[in-house]
Amino acid sequence: MSKGRFYITTPIYYPSSKLHIGHTYTTVAADAMARFKRLTGYDVKFLTGTDEHGQKIEEVAKEHGVSPKEYVDKIVDGIKKLWETMEISYDIFIRTTDEYHERRIQQIFQKLYEKGDIYKSHYEGWYCTPCESFWTETQLKDGKCPDCGRDVELTQEEAYFFKLSKYQDRLIKLFEENPEFLLPESRKNEMISNFLKPGLEDLCVSRTSFDWGIKVPFDEKHIIYVWFDAVCNYITALGYPEIQEEDYKKFWPADVQLVGKEIVRFHTIIWPAILMALDIPIPKKVFGHGWILLEGGKMSKSKGNVVDPVVLVERYGVDALKYFLLREYSFGQDGLFTNEVLLNRINSDLANDLGNLVSRTIAMIEKYNGGIIPKPKTKGEYDEDLENLATSVWSKVEERMNKLNYSGALEEIWKLVGRTNKYIDETTPWILAKDDENKDRLDTVLYNLAESIRIISVLIRPFMDKTARKIWVQLGIDEGQGTGWEDIMEFGKLESGIKVHKQPPLFPRIDVQKELKELAGNNKNTEKNESKNQKKENKKSKKKKEKDQISIDDFAKIDLKVAEVIEAKEHPNADKLLVLQLKVGDETRQVVSGIAEHYKPQELVGQKLILVANLKPVKLRGIESQGMILAASTKDKLTLVTADIESGTTVS
Ligand code: MSP
C-alpha cells in the first residue's frame, strides 16, 4: 500500500551544450531521493526539464545563425541523453517551449492581471542577461551583477509588473512560521536580511526589447519575463490551471524543491509570492544546496574550467560518480572537486570496502560450500552484533534522507559494510574450513555474510541501482526476492540453497597516479579544444562588435538638443521618477526621468541638459515622457550631462 504521494523537483536547466558535473549534482541528488521514496513505498513524481526562453538564448541562437527553437531543440536532446547516461529516473521532463506550458503560463498571467496583481508601468533599471535578472542601482556590486559579477545593461522599457511588494509581510511570516520551508538555515537568514527586510519592490514581469518568450496574452508586444515563465513550470507540469483534478490535485504542493544556492531567491521569494497571488499552497520545502567548486572557483563554460560528467561515467561508471557526489560533499555546503579526491574515494569505499566484501564472500561460498548459500546452523560470537546493526540501518537511513543528509545516509550504510568486513576477520572462515567439526559454524558465518550483503544491496538501491542489481546476480537472487525495503528489517530472509555466481569486481581498483596523468592529458586536450573554441569565440565577438558598431548615418538619426529645465516635480506615483518641463527653443517638452535619488527638483530648474528629442513618447507610471535626458553613471552616482549653450541648439 502506498504511504502517500511525494513530489520532488529539480530546477529546469538552461539549454547549454555542456552541462558539467555541478549541474548533474542537483539531478543526482533529486534522483536518489525519488528512488528512495519509491523504494520506501511512496507514489513519486519527479520533475526536471529545460528553461528555454529569454534574451540569453535568443542571443546565442543568433550567434549560431539559427532560430531559438532550432537551437534549443538540438541541445535539449543532448540534455535528455545526459540524464539517460546518468540514469536519472525522472517522471516528467518539461520544456518551457511545450505548447501546454506556454498556454498555461498565459492563463496564469491573465489570472493575475485580472486580479490586479499584475499591472502595466515602465521599467528603468539594470538587467543581467546571463542570469536573466533585474537589479536596482543600489543592488549592483561595483556596477556589476551581484550574482555572477558580469556586466549589466541599462534597460528602459514599458513593462508589466507583478505586485511582489504586496506579499512582503506574508513572506516574512512564511519564513517565521515554517522553519522547514527553506533549508539549510543559513540561506533563510540570507533571504530575510538581504531581500525581505530591506523591502521588496514590485517585479518587472514582461519585456519588449526581444521576442523569444511567451507572449502576454492581452498585449502581444510584451513577452513574459523568463523567470516568471520558468518557476511556474512546477505547476503547469501538473496541469495547473487547466486541469486541476488529476496530478495537480494529487501532487501539489511539492514535498521538496531542490535548487542551487544562487537561485534560492527566485524560489523562496518570487515563487511563493506568485503562489500566494494565485491563492494556492506553497511548497513544503526548498533546499538550497551548495556548489561544487574547482580550484579556480565555480565551474563555468566561459572560464573553461568544467568537469565533464560523461568522461567520468565512461571511466568509472555512473554508480561510482553518483556515490562520490552524494557521499563526499555535505549537501548544504560548497565542496571542492579534484580528480584525486574522486579516485581515492572510489578506491577506498567502493573498490576496497564494498567491492572486496562482495568478492571475498562469493569466493568463500564457492570454495567452502560448492557455490551454494548454506543454511545457518551454529550461532556464535559476533552474530548478534552483526544482525542488530544490519536490521537497524534502514531507520537511520530514513532519518538522514528525510533531512536530505545524503552523505550521512551513506555513512550509516558504510558502517554496516565495515561491520561485515570486520565479521570476516573476527570469524576467520578460512580457519573454520580447515576442520570438518567447524562446518556448522562455517555455514552460519557464510550465510550471515551473504545475508548482510543482501541487506546492503537494498540499502544502496537509491544511490547505486546498477550495483545493487550486480550484487543480486552474484547472490543468485532476482528483484522481488528480498530486495524490497521492508525485507531489510529482518535478518534471515535470504533463501539458502541458492547458487552464487562469481562476477568481475564491482569496482576495479584504480591506479591513482596513472589515472591522474591520463585525466590531466585529457584536460590538456580539452584545454586545447577550449583555446580553439576561445579563438572562435573571440572571432565571433569581434564580428559581433563590428556588427554592433553603428554608422555615421545611424548616429545622425538621433536628434540631440540642448534643453533648459523650467520646472521639476516629483512623480505622483513613483519615488524614483521626476517630471521635468523642458524648454527646447520655442517648444516645451515634458520628460519623466529616473533621477529622483540623485537630484532634488529645485536643484534642476535653470540647468541646461541634453535631450534625445526624437525618442518615441512613452507613458511612465501614467505620465507621458517625450524624450530622454542624458546622464553619466558611476557605481552609485548619476550625473546629468549639462551644456552651457542656448536651449534648442542641436548637438551633433
Ligand atoms: N534555469 C535556471 C533554473 C530555473 S528553475 C525555475 C537555472 N539553470 S542552470 O542550468 O543554470 O542550473 C541548474 C542547476 O544546476 C541549478 O540548481 C544550479 O545551482 C546547478 N548548478 C550549476 N552549477 C553548479 C555547481 N558548480 N555546483 C552545484 N550546482 C550547480 O539556474
Give the pLDDT score at 617: 85
What mean pLDDT comes out for the span 384-410?
98
- Using CA positions, which residue lies closest to atom 22 of ligand 1? 23
Q: Is the CB of 329 under 6 A from ligand 1?
A: no
- In this prediction, residue 155 carries a pLDDT of 85
Ligand 1 pocket test, pick from 23, 28, 57, 406 with the greatest ligand atom count within 8 Å of Cβ, gives: 23
Residue 233 CA, closest ligand 1 atom number: 6
Q: How many CB atoms lie within 10 A of CB 545?
A: 9
- pTM, two decimals, is 0.81
CB of 38 shorter than 6 A to ligand 1:
no
pLDDT value, residue 356:
98
56 lines ligand 1 (CB under 6 A): no
CA distance 59 to 130: 10
The residue contributing the CA closest to ligand 1 atom 15 is 23
CB 472 within 8 A of CB 479: yes
pLDDT top residue among 651 and 100: 100
Residue 585's region, left for phi above 0, alpha for psi from -120 to 50, else beta, is: left
Q: Is 323 exposed, middle or buried (0-12, 13-18, 19+ CB in 10 A)?
A: buried
pLDDT at 12: 98
Ligand 1 atom with minimal separation from the 267 CA: 6
- C-alpha 407 to ligand 1 mean position (Å): 20
Indicate if ligand 1 lies below 6 Å from the C-beta of 292: yes
Q: Are 452 and 427 in contact (CB under 8 A)?
A: no
**Does ligand 1 come within 6 angstroms of the Cβ of 299?**
yes
Asked if pLDDT for residue 621 goes beyond 70, the answer is yes
4's enclosing H/E stretch is: strand 4-9
Say if residue 620's pLDDT is above 90: no
Q: Is residue 231 lining ligand 1, measured as CB closer than 6 Å?
A: yes
* pLDDT top residue among 124 and 281: 281
Q: Which residue has the CA at smallest separation from atom 5 of ligand 1?
A: 11
Q: Is 228 in the pocket of ligand 1 (CB under 6 A)?
A: no
Going by pLDDT thresholds of 50, 70 and 90, the confidence category of residue 520 is: confident
* Residue type (1 letter), 238: L
Q: What is the pLDDT of residue 622?
A: 80
β-pairing, 133-135 with 118-128? antiparallel
Grouping H, G, I as helix, E, B as strand and the rest as coil, residue 42 is strand
Mean pLDDT of the chain: 92
Cβ–ligand 1 contact at 337 (below 6 Å) = no
Report, as an integer, the average pLDDT of 311-329: 97
**Residue 535, pLDDT above cutoff 70:** no
CA 485 remoteness from chain centre = 29
pLDDT, position 124: 87
Kindly state if the Cβ of 51 falls inside 6 Å of ligand 1.
yes
CA of residue 456 to ligand 1 center, whole Å: 32
Higher pLDDT, 1 or 11: 11
Residue 63 CA, chain-centre distance (Å), reads 26
| Atom of ligand 1 minimally distant from the CA of 11 | 5
Task: Give distance in angstroms: CA of 58 to centre of ligand 1.
Answer: 19
Three state DSSP letters for 105-123: HHHHHHHHHHHCCEEEEEE
Share of the chain above pLDDT 70, in %: 95
Residue of 26, 31, 90, 232 to mutate, ligand 1, most atoms within 8 A of C-beta: 26
The residue whose CA has the least distance to atom 9 of ligand 1 is 13
Structure confidence at residue 574 (pLDDT):
80
CA distance linking residue 307 with residue 296, whole number of Å:
12
pLDDT at 141 over 60: yes
pLDDT band at residue 555 under the 50/70/90 scheme: confident
Q: What is the pLDDT of residues 340-390, one digit of tens each?
A: 999 999 999 999 999 999 999 999 999 999 999 999 999 999 999 999 999
Q: How high is the pLDDT of residue 119?
A: 97
Going by alpha carbons, the residue nearest to atom 20 of ligand 1 is 23
Do the beta carbons of residue 584 and residue 620 sit within 8 Å?
Answer: no
Q: How far is CA 590 from CA 259, 395, 482, in A?
A: 46, 71, 80
Cis peptide before 241 (omega within 30 of 0): yes
H-state helical runs in 282-336: 309-316, 318-328
pLDDT 10s digits, 50-82: 999 999 899 999 999 999 999 999 999 999 999
Contacts of 459 (CB under 8 A, 6+ apart): 393, 394, 397, 413, 416, 488
Hey, what's the cell of 307? 568537469
Residue 172 has pLDDT above 80, yes or no: yes
According to the model, what pLDDT value does residue 594 have?
Answer: 87
Those residues with Cβ within 8 angstroms of residue 101's Cβ, 6 or more apart along the chain or in another chain = 94, 95, 229, 233, 236, 237
Percent of the chain with pLDDT over 90: 77
pLDDT of res. 52: 97
Give the residue-averaged pLDDT of 436-454. Answer: 98
Atom 13 in ligand 1: residue holding the nearest Cα: 13
Encode pLDDT of 190-212 as tens digits: 999 989 999 999 999 999 988 99
CA–CA separation, 285 and 287 (whole Å): 6
Cα–Cα dist 598/393, whole Å: 63
Q: Which of 132, 145, 231, 263 to mutate to test the pocket of ligand 1 (most atoms within 8 A of CB)?
A: 263
Distance 382 CA to ligand 1 centre (A): 47
Ligand 1 atom index nearest CA of 23: 15
Identify the top-confidence range among 127-131, 496-500, 519-523.
496-500
Q: Which helix (H) or strand (E) holds 409?
A: helix 406-427
pLDDT score, position 236: 98
pLDDT-based confidence at 404, cuts 50/70/90?
A: very high
The predicted pLDDT at position 381 comes to 93
- Rounded to an integer, the average pLDDT of 107-122 is 97
Q: How many other C-beta atoms are found inside a 10 Å radius of the C-beta of residue 296? A: 10
Residue 604 has pLDDT above 80, yes or no: yes
pLDDT digits (tens, 9 = 90+) for 457-481: 999 999 999 999 999 999 999 999 9
**Cα 131 to ligand 1 centroid, rounded to whole Å:** 11
Asked if residue 545 has pLDDT above 60, the reply is no
